[in-house]
């Protein structure tokens, strides 16, 4: 999601970057392009208008700070506004003094509600909570079965029975109290579109469970329709927030960028894939960073912290910053990286990557020959690839079942990466963030 918006902003800021002063015409031109970029990303018209007005007000009234160039000033204002329309601060779940904390999930069929119920259960388990899932979606015959499978995967029990959704929900609450569970997640039935019967059912389920949080699950791929759905549900259920799914897809981002402003409720969680771990709290500031091509270092670090050997990562990070990073480190990092899931999901989080790399198809299988090549080198060669001459290159190619061109390609790219990373760690903002990671 957001790729084309990121590209558009990249172009706008590149054009501003070279300018020492911004004339009124420059500002007008930039605002016009920002407006177009947002409209093309399928952002709600009113949201676009307000966004551009606020950016204009700040730029016109801005006392150009000495520490920022005019181009940077525009980036900063746009960043702050993006963050604001994405919801400002990330919402924190607080737990009810008298458990269980009840969470009701509503949404249209196919939005990803049942999948999200499982992910949410797994997320609470990771926080050390003891959830109970309730399958109150009795419309879709397979929904309860699907929930049981997801529950088993998350290590969370599932309550359901063949009666009616309201009774199931109410008995589920009793069951959670009886079992001493501290979180109750209620999955309700969806429909293909909003109808009175659906709303009535979910309203009655809400009445008997009296949820602390009511979240609507919306599908990012449905764009502005997701926002209209949220408006309709909000009228009936008084939503606390929205969970946006499928942001790993190629949605243009309009739903995510519009829902808070239109409905007045923030995005609380975002789902980024089919796996249970592809799910986390939604952080507006990090998303704004990502949209503006500044990467999402914090999410990357959090993801890494969960799976990566910290001590090794710290050593690698300091070697990276010193420029003494070797192919051995590279191999080690590649192996750690594999544990973090598909590469394509990680690339967008890396700050400052040129657009060509960011948008390139990242093929996880591409790592295999690279690993084979590095394995075919001697330890000395991995530490100091400069000593690898022509004949060694062909030996390495033969040993790894690759070609000399592939070996040359890897060595060239490694050299480029070394100098890129050295350059990156010298940038004030990034260097600071990188050292925060260590
Ligand atoms: P429900 O009808 O709202 O309960 O929807 P489901 O939970 O059955 O999900 C519908 C489809 O969307 C399933 O095939 C899920 O695997 C898929 N899905 C859900 N969330 C995501 C996501 O974040 N990314 C991707 N790619 N697929 C998702």
76-117 residue pLDDT tens: 888 889 999 998 877 788 998 888 999 999 999 889 999 999
> Looking at domain 297-437, which CATH architecture does it have?
Orthogonal Bundle (1.10)
Inter-residue contact 147 to 160 (CB < 8 Å): yes
Inter-residue contact 331 to 371 (CB < 8 Å): yes
CA distance 377 to 414: 14
Q: Is 248 flagged in the annotation as binding?
A: yes
Distance 111 CA to ligand 1 centre (A): 6
Inter-residue contact 161 to 171 (CB < 8 Å): yes
> Looking at domain 3-85, which CATH architecture does it have?
Up-down Bundle (1.20)
| Local structure of 290: helix, strand or coil | helix
Distance 115 CA to ligand 1 centre (A): 6
Q: Is 405 flagged in the annotation as binding?
A: no
Q: Provide the residue ranges of all domains of the chain, joining segments of one domain with +.
A: 3-85, 101-291, 297-437
Distance 147 CA to ligand 1 centre (A): 12
Give the pLDDT band of residue 266 (cuts 50, 70, 90). very high
Residue 165 in contact with ligand 1 by CB distance below 6 A: no
Distance 371 CA to ligand 1 centre (A): 34
24-55 residue pLDDT tens: 888 888 899 999 999 998 899 999 999 999 99
Choose one of 185, 192, 274, 277 to mutate for the ligand 1 pocket test, by most ligand atoms within 8 angstroms of C-beta. Answer: 274
For domain 101-291, the question of CATH label 3.40.50.300 is answered with yes
Q: Is 189 flagged in the annotation as binding?
A: yes
Residue 341 in contact with ligand 1 by CB distance below 6 A: no
Residue 115 in contact with ligand 1 by CB distance below 6 A: yes
Distance 153 CA to ligand 1 centre (A): 16
Q: What's the pLDDT score for residue 431?
A: 43
User: Which sign does the torsion angle of CA 420, 424, 426, 431 carry?
Assistant: negative
Residue 190 in contact with ligand 1 by CB distance below 6 A: yes
- Locus of tokens 């598909």: 342
Distance 274 CA to ligand 1 centre (A): 7
Q: Is 118 flagged in the annotation as binding?
A: no
Q: Is 114 flagged in the annotation as binding?
A: yes
Q: What's the pLDDT score for residue 323?
A: 67
ipTM value for the complex: 0.97
336-366 residue pLDDT tens: 777 666 666 666 666 556 566 655 555 667 6
Cis, peptide link before residue 100, omega less than 30° from 0: yes
Q: What's the pLDDT score for residue 64?
A: 55
Q: Pairing mode, if any, of strands 267-271 and 279-281? A: antiparallel
Atom of ligand 1 nearest to the CA of 272: 23
């Amino acid at each position: 999601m957001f790729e084309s918006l990121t590209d558009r902003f990249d172009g706008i800021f590149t054009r501003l970057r070279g300018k020492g002063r911004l004339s009124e015409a420059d500002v007008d031109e930039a605002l016009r392009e920002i407006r177009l970029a947002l409209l093309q990303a399928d952002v709600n018209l009113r949201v676009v208008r307000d966004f551009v007005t606020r950016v204009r007000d700040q730029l016109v009234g801005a006392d150009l700070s000495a520490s920022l160039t005019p181009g940077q000033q525009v980036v900063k204002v746009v960043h702050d506004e993006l963050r604001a329309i994405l919801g400002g601060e990330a919402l924190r779940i607080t737990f009810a003094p008298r458990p269980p904390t009840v969470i009701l999930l509503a949404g249209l069929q196919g939005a990803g509600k049942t999948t999200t119920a499982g992910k949410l259960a797994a997320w609470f388990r990771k926080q050390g909570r003891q959830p109970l899932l309730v399958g109150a979606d009795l419309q879709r015959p397979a929904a309860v079965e699907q929930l049981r499978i997801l529950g088993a995967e998350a290590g969370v029990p599932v309550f359901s029975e063949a009666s009616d959704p309201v009774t199931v929900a109410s008995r589920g609450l009793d069951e959670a109290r009886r079992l001493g569970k501290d979180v109750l997640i209620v999955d309700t039935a969806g429909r293909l579109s909003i109808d009175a019967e659906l709303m009535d059912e979910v309203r009655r389920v809400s009445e008997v469970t009296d949820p602390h949080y009511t979240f609507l699950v919306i599908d990012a791929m449905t764009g502005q329709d997701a926002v209209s759905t949220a408006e309709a549900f909000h009228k009936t259920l008084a939503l606390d927030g929205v969970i946006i799914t499928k942001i790993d897809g190629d949605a243009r981002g309009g739903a995510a960028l519009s829902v808070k402003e239109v409905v007045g409720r923030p995005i609380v969680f975002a789902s980024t894939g089919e796996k249970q771990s592809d799910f986390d709290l939604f952080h507006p500031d990090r998303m704004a960073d990502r949209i503006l091509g500044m990467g999402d270092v914090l999410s990357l670090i959090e993801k890494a912290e969960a799976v990566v050997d910290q001590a090794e990562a710290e050593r690698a990070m300091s070697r990276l910053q010193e420029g003494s990073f070797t192919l051995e480190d590279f191999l080690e990092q590649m192996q750690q990286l594999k544990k973090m899931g598909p590469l394509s999901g990680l690339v967008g989080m890396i700050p400052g990557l040129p657009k060509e790399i960011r948008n390139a198809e990242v093929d996880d299988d591409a790592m295999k020959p690279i690993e084979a090549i590095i394995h075919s080198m001697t330890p000395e060669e991995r530490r100091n690839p400069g000593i690898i001459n022509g004949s060694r290159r062909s030996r390495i190619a033969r040993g790894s079942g690759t070609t000399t061109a592939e070996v040359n390609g890897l060595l060239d790219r490694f050299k480029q990466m070394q100098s890129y990373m050295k350059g990156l760690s010298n940038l004030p903002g990034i260097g600071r963030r990188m050292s925060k990671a260590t």
